[in-house]
Amino acid sequence: MDFFKVEVYKILKNKKYLIFIIGLLVLFIFKTYGLYGDAKSERPQIKIKNNEKLLVEYKAKLKEDGIKEEEIKTYKLKIKSLERENKELSEEIKKPNYNWKEKLKNKNKALKKEREEYKIAMDYNEVERINGEILLNEHLLKENMEPQPLYKIYSFRAMKDLMGFINVIFLPLLIIILTYDSVSSEMQYSTIKLAITKPIGRVRFIITKFLSGFLVSTLTVFIIEFFMFVIIGLVFNGGNPSYPVVIGTKYHVDELERVTAIVGSSYINPVYKYLIQLLILQLMCIFIYCSFGILISTLFKNNVASLMVSSIIIFCLNMATFILPQESLSKIYPYLFTTYGDGNSLIEGVINLNLSATNINIKLGVGICILYGVAFIAIATNYFNKKDIVV
């Protein structure tokens, strides 16, 4: 226990921990500012102007030479949808106190008509998106819950976006910064000799290094997220923890060999449950990247080499998964630990569409993360046990 306390203390007093905290704060503040800008653009007057620009663009596309029949249908449906939305927004400006229940009922009628048109066009991704919107509206009516306008910021909804933002690429790299020298620094500066002369044992040495990094990372991330949640609630709006969100869309390969949504697979969950799921997935993310950082730190004696190798691997894997996904890797993605870093897409199900897969889900993700994490620690322990350290 004393060795564990010492390791935690060493992390907390290290400059890299300060970098970890500052990095998280900067990312959260940057994203919050971005959310504020996004919310402003959702105000009815601004939204109408933006939609009108899109309408001009889509109508110009229809006049282009060589446009396919399927593309013509898609653009016509998009134009119709934007025109409907602009009509609703204009009504909202004219009648700001218009009964919200009547508004939702009318919107659902229009959405059902739009859904039928997308069914004819065989665009089942759009069909299921509209299904989700109808489900959401029906739930709000049933529970007598007034809709939350997109031009306002609510802490529950904002945390969904904030956590999703840092979990991909940024949090993994920050965890690598925190753990890259956990073992390699001990080797580089020969302090490892002092550690193994004490009754610690090599297995316990690696496990303690991992647990201390995991504990510090987890508590720091969760505490900062809690304070961000409170601050956003105080500055903007708290929101309703039971407010519904659409999740769980499933996908399959259709007769045209396209990955498309299974119609009727989406369902409603309260936003607080969504955030609990997101926290669990984030915990898995921290677990896997801490164990990976310890493994690379064990394999290298030099801190710079450990940092470079671990950072490059994580960056490249995240790029190949989220920034530049390759359809040729669709069979591999479900078994890559980086795939499960994007908790939002995983919970909502859209990650399957993004990665041209059909079997990526939360249960598989938790299993994959635990399997990789345990394997990384086992390999690190085995390698460290065989390492020749002259005392």
Residue range of the domain that includes 90: 41-142
- Residue-level length of the chain: 391
List, in sequence order, every beta strand (DSSP E) within the chain.
Answer: 244-247, 251-253, 259-261, 267-270
Give a yes or no: residue 391 inside a domain.
no
The residue type at 46: I
* pLDDT tens track, the chain, 391 positions: 688 898 899 999 999 999 999 999 999 999 999 999 999 999 999 999 999 999 999 999 888 888 888 888 888 889 989 998 998 889 888 887 778 999 899 999 999 999 999 998 889 999 999 999 999 999 999 999 999 999 999 999 999 999 999 998 899 999 999 999 888 887 766 666 666 666 677 888 899 999 999 999 999 999 999 999 999 999 999 999 999 999 999 999 988 889 999 999 999 999 999 999 999 999 999 999 999 999 999 998 888 999 999 999 999 999 999 988 988 899 999 999 999 999 999 999 999 999 999 999 999 999 999 999 999 999 999 998 887 654 4
Q: What is the pairing mode between strands 251-253 and 259-261? A: antiparallel
At 201 the pLDDT is 78
- Assign 175 to helix, strand or coil: helix
At 390 the pLDDT is 47
Say yes or no: 259 and 353 in one domain: yes
Give a yes or no: residue 322 inside a domain.
yes
At 197 the pLDDT is 61
Give a yes or no: residue 7 inside a domain.
yes
At 3 the pLDDT is 80
Say yes or no: 103 and 198 in one domain: no
Cα distances from 243 to residues 43, 228, 343, 380, in angstroms, run 21, 19, 19, 44
- Assign 201 to helix, strand or coil: coil
Say yes or no: 57 and 169 in one domain: no
Q: How many separate domains does the chain show?
A: 2
In contact, 158 and 39? CB cutoff 8 Å: no
Among residues 123, 142, 161, the one where a domain terminates is 142
Give a yes or no: residue 361 inside a domain.
yes
Cα distances from 371 to residues 81, 283, 311, 365, 366, in angstroms, run 45, 14, 21, 10, 9
At 68 the pLDDT is 85
- Assign 268 to helix, strand or coil: strand
d(CA 183, CA 175): 15
d(CA 273, CA 381): 37
Give a yes or no: residue 133 inside a domain.
yes
Give a yes or no: residue 369 inside a domain.
yes
Say yes or no: 223 and 250 in one domain: yes
